[in-house]
Amino acid sequence: MSISVWQDGVCLEIKVQPRSSRNKLVGNQQGIWKVKLTAPPVDGEANQALVSFLADIFKVSKQSVQILRGETSKLKLVGIHGISPQQTAEILNKLADKK
C-alpha cells in the first residue's frame, strides 16, 4: 500500500527512523514511505515530529494528520485529511527525487 483513499484524504504507511541528523523523506520501498526525524522515540516526541513534518510538507494543519496505527512502533499508518491521492503522490515523488 503506497497511497490509499481515507475519509476526505489519504492514508500512508510510513517507516520512521528517529534520531537522524535532519527531518527528511527518504523514499518509498515496497509501498512504505521512509521518513528520517531528528526527534528521539521518547514520550511521543518522534510521533509529534512526524505529524509536524507531514503537516508542513502537505501544507495542512497538524490536526489534519492522524497516526492511525503504530504509535509505539517504527512502522505507522498515517491518515491525512484534506488532500487528494494525486496531490499526495506529486508531493511525495518530488521530495523523494531530491536525494
pLDDT tens across the length of the chain (99 residues): 589 999 999 999 999 999 999 999 999 999 999 999 999 999 999 999 999 999 999 999 999 999 999 999 999 999 999 999 999 999 998 988 775
Q: What is the CATH number for 71?
A: 3.30.1200.10
Q: Where are the beta strands (DSSP E) in 18-64?
A: 24-29, 32-36
Number of domains in the chain: 1
Give me the domain span that covers residue 22.
3-96
- Residue 79 and residue 19: Cα distance in Å, rounded? 23
What pLDDT does 87 receive?
A: 95
For the entire predicted model, the pTM comes to: 0.93
- Other beta carbons within 10 angstroms of residue 5's beta carbon come to 10
- Residue 40 and residue 34: Cα distance in Å, rounded? 16
Give residue 74's Cα distance to chain centre. Answer: 11
Start-end of H helices in the chain:
45-58, 85-96
